[in-house]
Chain A
Amino acid sequence: MPRPDRFRLGAGWVGAGAVAATGAVSALLLIVGGYDPFEAAGAALGGAFGSADAFLSVTLVRSIPLMLTGLAVAFAFRAGVWNIGAEGQLLAGAIAAAWVGLVGRALPAWLLLPMLLALAAFAGALWALVPALMKVRLGVGEVITTLLMSFVAIELTAFVVRGPLQEPRGVFPQTEAIAAGARLPALVPGTRLHLGVVLAVVAAVAVAWLFRQTKLGFRMRAVGASPEAARMAGKIDTGPVTLVAFLGSGALAGLAGGVQVAGVTYALYEGYSPGWGYTAIAVALLAALDPLWVLATALLFGALEAGAAAMQRDAGIPAVWAVAVQALLILAVLALDQMRRRANAGSAGV
């Protein structure tokens, strides 16, 4: 099985180092703020992993959109496509899912649910198609275009929940609840954990297989690692590969939106995403763009969110602390990854 040694080993070092550094710095912050870091850690761990329900209903459920958007980001980044607009693609998927869930009431569940998920993925891909074509045809940098498309999606969401898809009374900026047949069934009875987690794991395994075993995945990795070598040594036409990376990434992010609508909220509302699509970038980078590691890092971020809520409740520490920790984690990943690159560039002796 092809494993680029350096990528794996070095990347693991970055992940472990970032988590350790973040832990140390955030403990320091807590002490400075006058809190007991051990009490805080206890509350956080209790909130995230303290009981089966805490883990299944809170931590794991919060991880699911991060797993799917993290995969979306990793999918694109591995092919050298810097799609930072997973947020917008997720919202496009959520809008499509809400629409299907509302208008498809007459359809049986076995048809409605797959249709909802498929259309969500399709809408996400469609949202990525615009920057994809701009990149492949015109050479416009995708960092700007994917980001800007997210703002359009945020406004579009605000529009549809006040206009075409608003609840019948016309009071709140949200949709009615989607049809029962459009909802993802619970995975463990008595908890809020839904089937979406299985979808996320299957998607991760599928993406991992694609990268490791297939022609397409190999071409994506080659284009991502060195477009020049892919063209010259690999005789790879980078255009179609880039397009696939955009569309696949958009589809995974769109699926995340669909899964969230069908599995957790059952409705769409204004300000739908708390920034899953952006956190996803940290999730993917912390996982060194490895699809299977994305599952683990998404779980870490999910636990952080769950733990923060518990800390506020049990230890009186403001929940925004979790945002600071996330930011620290992202900074640590970026800094350590850059250090790793420098160290490797030095040892490569090129």
Chain B
Amino acid sequence: MIAVRARLDGVVRRFGSVEALAGASLEVRAGEVHALLGENGAGKSTLLSILGGMLRPDAGTIEVGGRQVALASPRVAWALGIGLVHQHFTLVPPLTVLENLALGRRLQPARLGRTLTRLRAEAERLVQRTGLDVRLDARVEQLAVGERQRVEILKVLLRDPSVLVLDEPTASLAPAEVASLFELLRGLAAEGRAIVLVAHKIDEVLAVADRVTILRAGRTTFSDVRSKVDAASLVRAMVGESVTDVAAAVGVVVVASGSARAAAVGVGVGASVTVDDAARRRPGGLVATLADVRMHASVGRPALEGVTLEVRRGEIVGIAGVQGNGQRELARVLSGRSLPDSGSVQLPAGVGFIPQDRTLEGLIGDFDLAENVALALHADPRFTGPAALRWDAVRAEAERVRTRFSIVASGTKAPAYALSGGNRQRLVIGRELLVASDLLVAEDPTRGLDVAATAFVHDQLRRATETSEGPGVVLISGDLDEVLALSDRLLVVSRGRLTPVPENARTREGVGALMLGDSSAAA
């Protein structure tokens, strides 16, 4: 008989007006490796946090070991045998591995030596049994990422959990490390534990999982054993049945924007299923070129590798990808904010940049509208004298942005912190369009915006590229519907590399598979 270790049913969790989970369920059994899959924002991490006792659900039931429980705190979850390995490491770098293992235990200073000795014996036994390769006396700061993760796992295993939960354990690992992690997980499952892991990559899921559960928009849409699934069916379950979904998603844009071109896109979707309007448009001259660009990351593999890209006037180049695959670095290199480690970058003079985080990177809350507009104009000779800024000219420009983009504010002296999210994005876009005479780089420009604000942003991007004299636009986004609907040309960024999406793969499944690094599903 297979024992159900934990069961979550009909779990709902809201953050403000956003419903992160809208009826998710998960059933974890003893002795299995259970993979949890889903797009960005599908609710995977929220679900794990609920299982780990860090968040409380607004509705739904949780059973552990056959009894209904309330996981009121991480401590309660611990006591019930649920051990969570965090995505971000929680180790203290200057301490040794053994000292890190001792953290979070009840320590009596007088008996520290004895406690450490006992802990060492325990840890050594565990290391021997599981084959976890960990040096107990090394300082954590000396360890590679893969080894740090093994320390995290060891730390959790010392408490002998019956359910081991790992949030994206392979995110920063090299392939060889991934293989040995999977071997370890299989061994732990064989001991009768239940293993739950969140993964992004289909091939990895297929390699290790006994059972797969898929979340989509906060709901569990699929759950079955490994033997009954393949890559194609998983991608389908993740992104949804394409025809109706894409049409619905694009339909929202069409209705809200009211531009003739957008309507053409909508019709195209309805008629031919794939979104394909590249042929209609004739891009202008080359404005930006990246050739063989490489950029390091703080840990693990390079953030960008062998990236080559050409951008022409009047075209929207869409770049889709799962977060953390090099988008940020690409956006910064393309907008001239960062220099790559190697490779050549040719950028035009008039570059606008819409950064992903408007509140932190796009605007200064304490500055008023004019001062925020000045962020883009302070180096422009038209707005500066020898030393002074021409504040009257800057303020006039800010007023024009405010009226043209219907920014709801008392005037150009209103501070940016007083603006709503949508109005902040209008301000950023309005400002960047002032300077983006040649190139506009937009990074997740509609993240966190409601339907109307999203439509506004899409409309602005389309209008900017209406003629072949307009700027080239690079739209970097994790939102598949957005890039499919707007892009003239579409590429996927995965593990720091750019791959053009072939015309016949311009569908949710095709692009989705490429985003997950599965090239076979796209062909």
On A, residues with C-beta under 8 Å from B are: 1-7, 213-216, 218-219, 221-222, 225-226, 228-236, 344, 348, 350
A231 to B355, CA, bound (A): 11
Choose among A4, A229, A236, A344 the residue that contacts B362 (Cβ–Cβ < 8 A).
A229
Of the A-B pairs whose beta carbons lie under 8 Å apart in the complex, a sample of 9, sorted by A's number, is: A2-B371, A215-B378, A216-B387, A226-B364, A229-B360, A231-B337, A232-B332, A234-B375, A235-B336
A214 to B389, CA, bound (A): 5
Residues of chain B within 8 A (CB-CB) of A235 are 336-337, 353, 379
3 nearest A-B pairs in the assembled complex, by CB-CB distance: A232-B361, A234-B375, A348-B417
On B, residues with C-beta under 8 Å from A are: 332, 336-337, 353, 355, 357, 359-368, 370-372, 374-376, 378-379, 384, 387-389, 391, 413-415, 417-418, 428, 431
A233 to B370, CA, bound (A): 14
Q: Does A233 lie within 8 Å of B375, measured CB to CB?
A: yes
Q: Does B355 lie within 8 Å of A350, measured CB to CB?
A: no
Residues of chain A within 8 A (CB-CB) of B366 are 4, 6-7, 225
Q: Contacts A4-B371, A6-B417: A213 and B389 contacting too (C-beta < 8 A)?
A: yes
A229 to B431, CA, bound (A): 14
Q: Does B391 lie within 8 Å of A2, measured CB to CB?
A: yes
Shortest beta-carbon distance from B66 to chain A in Å:
44
Q: Does A228 lie within 8 Å of B361, measured CB to CB?
A: yes
Shortest beta-carbon distance from A208 to chain B in Å:
13
Residues of chain B within 8 A (CB-CB) of A350 are 359, 365, 417
A293 to B76, CA, bound (A): 55
A236 to B418, CA, bound (A): 24
Which residue of chain B lies nearest to A10 when distances are taken between CB atoms in the complex? B366
Q: Contacts A214-B387, A228-B360, A233-B353: A5 and B368 contacting too (C-beta < 8 A)?
A: yes
Residues of chain A within 8 A (CB-CB) of B362 are 229, 232-233
Q: Does A215 lie within 8 Å of B387, measured CB to CB?
A: yes
A82 to B34, CA, bound (A): 51
A6 to B378, CA, bound (A): 23
Residues of chain B within 8 A (CB-CB) of A228 are 357, 360-361
Shortest beta-carbon distance from B16 to chain A in Å:
11
Name, among B375, B418, B428, the residue most crowded by chain A CB atoms within 10 Å (CB to CB): B375
Shortest beta-carbon distance from A343 to chain B in Å:
12
Which residue of chain B lies nearest to A6 when distances are taken between CB atoms in the complex? B415
Residues of chain B within 8 A (CB-CB) of A348 are 365, 417-418
Shortest beta-carbon distance from A132 to chain B in Å:
22
Choose among A1, A4, A214 the residue that contacts B367 (Cβ–Cβ < 8 A).
A4
Shortest beta-carbon distance from B497 to chain A in Å:
24
Shortest beta-carbon distance from A349 to chain B in Å:
8
Shortest beta-carbon distance from B388 to chain A in Å:
5
Shortest beta-carbon distance from A282 to chain B in Å:
22
A226 to B374, CA, bound (A): 14
Which residue of chain A lies nearest to B388 when distances are taken between CB atoms in the complex? A213
Which residue of chain B lies nearest to A7 when distances are taken between CB atoms in the complex? B366
Residues of chain B within 8 A (CB-CB) of A2 are 367-368, 370-371, 374, 391
Residues of chain A within 8 A (CB-CB) of B336 are 235
Residues of chain B within 8 A (CB-CB) of A236 are 378
Residues of chain B within 8 A (CB-CB) of A344 are 417
Residues of chain A within 8 A (CB-CB) of B370 are 2
Q: A214-B388, A222-B367 are in contact. List 19 more A-B contacts (CB 8 A).
A: A4-B366, A4-B367, A6-B366, A215-B387, A215-B389, A216-B387, A218-B371, A228-B357, A229-B360, A232-B332, A232-B353, A232-B355, A233-B355, A233-B376, A234-B376, A235-B336, A235-B337, A236-B378, A350-B365
